[in-house]
Chain A
Amino acid sequence: MSDIGLKKEGEARKAPPLWLVFSIFGVILLAIAAVTLSYRVKGLTWSTLFSTTNDEVLTYTLWSIRAPRLLLSIILGAGLAVAGCLLQSMTRNPLSDPEILGINQGASCFAVIAIVGFGERDSSTVILLASLCGAGAIGLLISWLSRYSGNDASRLMLAGVAISAFMGALTTGFILLFETQLIEILYWMAGKLTGTTWSDNKLVWALDIPALIVAFLLARTLNLLGQGEELATGLGVNVPRVRQLIGVLIVVLTGSAVAVAGPIGFIGLMVPHMAKRLGGLDHKVILPLSAIMGAVLLSAADFLSQWLTYPADLPVGIITAFMGVPFFLYLLRRQREGHR
């Protein structure tokens, strides 16, 4: 019912043509990228950018600090937004988000255990594996619990909140027990992109690009699923198999994000709604649009987190939470009685 309402609304407001939407966001992304790379870099001019300079500080700032961080925020934004989009389609609940359902906290709990267990050694693969396991475990738990929640999605979300609290308590317990690198972990738990390296980037790009491609390929099936499970089955969709596949994609996308940047919430909540406003209901449009909008949003949030309280560096998760909480309240407010 809500879908029809949305569609009518979209038609009535004469949505702008898609190529325009995509190119506008592309330009915004490029602009943000340019600003992020060049903001307050001493001695950077157009000429030095294009000529090969010998200024080592400049090259270092650009290529070892700014660029990896920017690229990571772009891919994570895209990945998280698509994960949120998939999650909302799968749970058929517009309020779903990996942060709210506790997937982020689960992944970070496992990751903290891995960090504490493996100490200072180069353990990014271990952390990645651990947070994927954590995300997967919570995903399984949620899908098991969702059998109990029936149609009432808000109960499932509250259960997710409780899972978050539980995993958060475990995480803090572990941190306090093995009192090591405390500040870093606290910082990491709030979601941060500081000190990103190229190796983080490689890891995430290698995992997320295939996941995103699979998600785009699934767009048609997602459209069918949106029509209801019976109809989808009737049209030849193997519903349980597809749901498993989507689950794996969500776990990969959120788990890899948590592994390198800690839990960053609300990107997955906000972006799909904005994308649907602009792009209608066709997943073939929404998924790529979400990806690019997520990239824009997270890279912008990261830019803010770097410069808002300069020289202190805010965790980007706080910025997304500042944006996301009012948005969530707005969505909740807009939801009418009986329409879940």
Chain B
Amino acid sequence: MKLRKWTRFGQIVALLLLLLIIAAVLSLRFGAVNTPLREILAELAGGEPLVLKYRLPRLIIAVLTGINMAVSGAILQSITRNPLAAPDIVGVTAGGGFGAVVVLLVFPTWSAAGLPIAAFAGAVTAAVIVYLFAYQRGGIRPTRLALTGVSVSLGFHSLITFLIVKYALDSSQALVWLKGSLYARSWQHVEMLWPWTLGGVTLALLSHRQINTLQLDEDTVTGLGLRIQLVRVLLLLTAVGLSASSVAVSGTIGFVGLVIPPLSKWLVGPDSRLYLPVSALLGALLVTLADLLGRVVLPPLEIPAGIFTALIGAPYFIYLLLIRRAQPNKSRSR
């Protein structure tokens, strides 16, 4: 039984890796200027650095963003035992976006290094506000957490709009950034992002046992003697860091953290050792595809990747909220 689980996991990971590689190659190949594969290889071998300079960092950022958002969503959903929790639902994305916009618009001088840190600070602030408002004695009801998060997000979004209007630089660029675009991302952004991804994912994988335990109900967890609140806060910070860093670099690419974790649980079951890596791969695949799609639909124009993820994610969210729940009690995956 256990062996079969791992075999299935291996198959799925292999399949996803294959798909990701295909998507990656396609995304290097297509764009405003189509570059045939032979040329890419020639360039990699040491020719003109077009692909190396423009498309490769963009691809890497898509992959990293996908991993960050998906793993962050998986952690949040596990530790709150709430299928509605996701970085963009609990307000973390909006808070991070606000922090980033403040740095981008108000203090443009110290932008590069301060960006992820400001985003992180904003995201933590938003998370704390949401938690304080949603907290009730005896636990937080899933929909209550989500509603609080959504309204705090609305508040942060109006603050962002306020800043954009007040410091109206190039609002078109700000709009693109807000909807989550990977336009004109460079190696500098990759350097900003990868340590967060590496650290966050490592932490998440190392604490897989704790995550598994936290998915049980509260009484069992307390009974097992895990230092529950401390672990929870640490994991929460990990999730916040993952999503905040990706918001700082690539804007709000929504719904990835919401959609991917349940999907991967459906694929490989609720063991976090299995579904965390699968979530990461699926997230990377989704964002890469969304970015690719945004570039090739109407070539000279670019549609931000976040638009595609929202168009896919929002109907799924409604389905999750209302329709699946209305079906006679199929045991809900938690």
Q: Is the interface of B mostly helix, strand, loop or mixed?
A: helix
A74 shortest CB reach to chain B, Å: 23
Contact B151 A183 (CB under 8 A): no
B20 shortest CB reach to chain A, Å: 24
With beta carbons under 8 angstroms apart, the residue of A169, A175, A318 that contacts B165 is A318
* Stretch from B26-34, B226-234, B237-245, B298-306 forming part of the interface with A: B298-306
Contact B325 A155 (CB under 8 A): yes
With beta carbons under 8 angstroms apart, the residue of B147, B171, B175, B313 that contacts A154 is B147
What's the Cα separation between A157 and B147 when bound, in Å?
8
What's the Cα separation between A182 and B172 when bound, in Å?
7
* A-B interface pairs (CB < 8 A), number: 134
Collect the chain A residues with CB atoms within 8 Å of residue B325's CB.
148, 155
Collect the chain B residues with CB atoms within 8 Å of residue A100's CB.
151
What's the Cα separation between A257 and B98 when bound, in Å?
28
**B326, CB-defined interface residue at 8 Å:** yes
Contact B315 A166 (CB under 8 A): yes
Q: Is the interface of A mostly helix, strand, loop or mixed?
A: helix
**B322, CB-defined interface residue at 8 Å:** yes
What's the Cα separation between A102 and B314 when bound, in Å?
12
**A328, CB-defined interface residue at 8 Å:** yes
**A14, CB-defined interface residue at 8 Å:** no
Q: Which of A110-169 contact B (CB under 8 A)?
A: 145, 148-150, 152, 154-159, 161-163, 165-166, 168-169
Report B139-175 CB contacts with A as 1/0, cut-off 8 Å.
Answer: 0010110111011101101100110111010011001
With beta carbons under 8 angstroms apart, the residue of A158, A176, A317, A325 that contacts B143 is A158
Known A161-B150, A165-B254, A318-B165; judge A172-B175 contact (CB<8 A): yes
Contact A145 B318 (CB under 8 A): yes
Collect the chain B residues with CB atoms within 8 Å of residue A265's CB.
154
With beta carbons under 8 angstroms apart, the residue of B141, B143, B147, B166 that contacts A309 is B166
With beta carbons under 8 angstroms apart, the residue of B158, B172, B307, B317 that contacts A169 is B307
Collect the chain A residues with CB atoms within 8 Å of residue B311's CB.
166, 169-170
Contact A183 B171 (CB under 8 A): yes
Nearest chain B residue, comparing its CB with the CB of A317: B158
Determine the interface band of chain A, counting residues with CB < 8 A from chain B: 35 or more
Contact A148 B298 (CB under 8 A): no
Collect the chain A residues with CB atoms within 8 Å of residue B143's CB.
152, 154-155, 158
Contact B165 A182 (CB under 8 A): no
Contact B144 A169 (CB under 8 A): no
Nearest chain B residue, comparing its CB with the CB of A331: B151
A98 shortest CB reach to chain B, Å: 13
What's the Cα separation between A328 and B146 when bound, in Å?
13
Report A305-324 CB contacts with B as 1/0, cut-off 8 Å.
Answer: 00001001011011001100
Known A166-B310, A312-B165, A315-B161; judge A158-B150 contact (CB<8 A): yes
Given contacts A169-B311, A176-B303, A321-B158, 16 further A-B contacts (CB under 8 A): A148-B325, A154-B146, A155-B322, A156-B322, A158-B146, A158-B150, A159-B318, A162-B313, A162-B318, A166-B310, A176-B304, A186-B172, A312-B166, A318-B161, A325-B152, A329-B151
Q: Top 9 A-B pairs ranked by shortest CB distance?
A: A169-B310, A321-B158, A325-B155, A166-B314, A148-B322, A154-B143, A162-B317, A162-B314, A148-B326
Q: Can you name 25 A-B pairs with beta carbons within 8 Å?
A: A100-B151, A152-B143, A155-B321, A157-B147, A158-B143, A162-B313, A162-B315, A163-B318, A165-B314, A166-B315, A169-B311, A172-B175, A173-B303, A173-B307, A177-B303, A186-B172, A190-B161, A315-B161, A317-B158, A325-B151, A325-B154, A332-B144, A332-B148, A332-B151, A333-B133
